[in-house]
Structure 1
Amino acid sequence: MATNVFNQIPDYDLFKQNIIEGCNLKLASERGYFESDQIKELLDYFNSKPKKYSNMTMMGFFFKITLLAPTKRKVIASLKVGDFSEGFDYVTINGFEIKLLRALSLDIKNELEQINKNIQKEDLFFELFCGCKYSENIFNTPFYYALKEIGYDVPKDKDTFSVECIRNTAIVDLAINGVNPYLISRLIGLSLGGLDNLLTKFEVDIDEKVI
């Protein structure tokens, strides 16, 4: 019943920075991103429909949709069947209608046809392909094994790998290809300042692009 203080914050990035400085906290280290050849290897892997590990179909869809609409993991994980068009040609994310590649659309429809369930618009999309308890963190483990399968140097002390680098990869690609920073920030759910800080860490300059 308490007042939502976040509704009274005009600039979340500035609010967060003030908290960091006021409490003498360490800055969060930004996760990296993949090069184009690594993305191609992962796409080839997911297109081969690997069945060696569970949840890999789910991971493949998450990977491809995040590349098309690199918003926060929680937003992608919370997509419902109703967020997709009837023929799964489009998906609506953060107010944007994103066209899915024809091959991806066909793969989704083919996989859904194999599910023995009466699918409703309110159903969580990715949960339909999940064989265990579902949460936004479930993608890290299958992503780890996908990277391991293609020979990526994954950590040896844990069997998860953050999917944030997928989002970072797509954001960097949008910026490098000259997409208007304002549109990028709306799509990914970051302020222009937050987008600029992210790209600065990756040494991508958007100062000269029209905002």
Structure 2
Amino acid sequence: MTFSIVARCPRTGMFGVAVASSSAAVAARCAYAQAGVGAVASQNVTDPTLGPRTLELMARGLSATEAVSVLKRTSAYPEYRQLLAVDAAGVSAVHSGRKALGVWAEASGNDVACGGNLLANADVPKLMVEAFIASDGHLGDRLIVVMRAALSAGGEAGPVRSAGMKLVDTVSWPVADLRCDWTDACPVEELAAIWQIYKPQLDAYVTRAINPSAAPSYGVPGDE
């Protein structure tokens, strides 16, 4: 039902998650990230507590591998879960339970992990990782490249209806949290279009939060 990527930009330290699914509003349940700590995707018969718990363990000093291992041992119904994580050192880890749905697969490398279930074929995550490694530029751009590569590789076995992307940087809140919660068109392309609108404004939104007096013009009547 889902394919996703968690990734770290080694140049900036930014973390990101991107996810797509045949289910509605997938990013609301599956995408988690914390500045300076890591990124997590929790999917396949989703337990939304696993994302925050994985981030908490990594914030306490556990690596992504250690955190995923702890949750594999201690969480309920691990055989149904798929959990992806990347930490502040770029270490990545994936757990895919034996009862993951349909064709499922996972792949990982330095700074990246990808996984999916109910996939069109088992090569999708490997090709996603390869696309990430071959890409460059802003982490948000790279995540879009990867999600498009997943679709080109076959993506999910059924129609994809929702997609989302979350980015964290140096501030305590997500600097981007973009979603297409349902569409009969292509949610990855709708997400890409939203990102192209949002990307040029990302830094300004952060500046306005930290110091409005230093922010660029809001472009509205009455703004001086």
Given the two structures, how large is their TM-score scaled by the length of structure 1? 0.28
Instruction: Select the structure of larger CA radius of gyration.
Output: 1
Indicate the structure with greater strand content.
2
